[in-house]
Amino acid sequence: MRGSKNAVSKHMVAAMLGDGPSTIRNVPEVGEVDITAAMLESTGYHVARPDAEITIEAGSAIEPHVPEAFTGLNRIPILMLGPLLHQTGEAFVPLVGGDPIGRRPVDFHVAALRALGAEVDVGPSGITARATRLHGARIDLPYPSVGATETVLLSSVLAEGKTVLRGAATEPEVVELALFLQRMGAHIELSPDRRIVIEGVQRLRGASTRLVGDRLEAFSYLVAGLITGGEVRVHGCPQDRLVTAITTLARMGARFEITDEWITASAPGGLRPAAVHTDTHPGFMTDWQQPLLVLFTQADGMSVLHETVFENRLVYVPALQKMGCEIEVFAACLGGPACRFHDTNAVHSAVIRGVSKLRGADVTLPDVRAGFSAVLAAAVADQPSSLRGIHHIERGYHRPFEQFASLGLTLRHA
């Protein structure tokens, strides 16, 4: 199992902060890496990519402006603001993009950078920032945003003085980034109650690290085995990254074999329904809910899914309904306590009836995780399916079509 797209791109940005070259190993072959590498090269960094490694080193001159051509391709540009400010004292990044799963405003990022002493202007084409030297600050996040936590880490490690971040995200990918920065010489303390303390240092050096296996991919392929009545073994993703996921699947009737090297799942006695609500770490990951929802259609009974992280995460449901999935969606909070979308018009809960007989269909994939879920539904459908927008899957999964073929799924490019 290669590292995740969410981790590798953030490590690539962190490498901008080092005085020397940094090397990242176990890198997935995903579109996200190509986009991020192109952005780094456009600002004057050298990016070498032999096999499953990436080595990044600053060139002789750093250009503080990320070209507008990268507008909307992913959410990495905003994370580059802090590193560019440290290198040049100014920065411009284009408007961010990403999957259409709900509001992910830049407000938290901008507020954090301003607290650290940057002058930040948000314009129609992008974000401009200036700072002669960032300084430590006390920052409180209104919600444990992964991206905003990463912005604080990447911006404060070279700031003058101490930064105390409260309300931080604690996802494994965030901790993995913090550990990489520590290898580069950063002074970071992970404290209880979602608090991170960063003591700014004068310089960071290059470092080397090996990414941990992608917990999103691991869960997705475990579900692929369960949904088709088979058994799948995933290698390279530690058990501690899948604790909540394993327990959830076990409650549905899955049986596991777990070693230090691999995890195997099967469900010889069939699948039971469940009620699950997503949450920030260590809760059930929002990126796990799309394959889980398809798995619910093959469980014997009524299941409930309550999404509490992104209000538009169920945007993919119509494609699954077209394939015969019996799903009803609601604006109410179902399957868990009232969340921050309570009393809004956000459709963020679903009731799923199983066992559904799925049929082949012609569907368009809206985003990375939804795309994988459509492939899962197609795998158990009674007729072939035509899936459009497969570039979304290629952006986020390592060699997905080779992996699908290894599981016995017949695929061909139209």
Dist. CA 32–CA 303, nearest whole Å: 33
- What's the rounded Cα separation, in Å, for the pair 18 and 186? 10
Residue environment code for 181-194, b if the CB has 16+ CB neighbours within 10 A, otherwise e: bbbbbbebeeeeeb
DSSP letter at 2 equals P
CA 56 to chain centre: 22
Residue type, 273: P
Q: Give the tokens for residue 48.
A: 């070498």
Secondary element (H or E) of residue 411: none
* Those residues with Cβ within 8 angstroms of residue 308's Cβ, 6 or more apart along the chain or in another chain: 277, 278, 279, 286, 336, 339, 340, 341, 348
CA distance 345 to 333: 11
Distance CA 325, CA 90 (A): 50
Residue 360: both structure tokens together: 């082949």
Sign of CA dihedral 170, 277, 395, 212: positive
| CA nearest neighbour of 194 among 170, 177, 229 | 170
User: Alpha-carbon distance 83 to 118, whole Å?
Assistant: 12
By annotation, the residues acting in catalysis are: 99
Of all helices (H) and strands (E), which one includes residue 129? strand 126-130
- Report the run of H or E that residue 163 belongs to, with start and end: strand 162-166
**Do residues 100 and 172 touch, judged by C-beta distance below 8 A?**
no
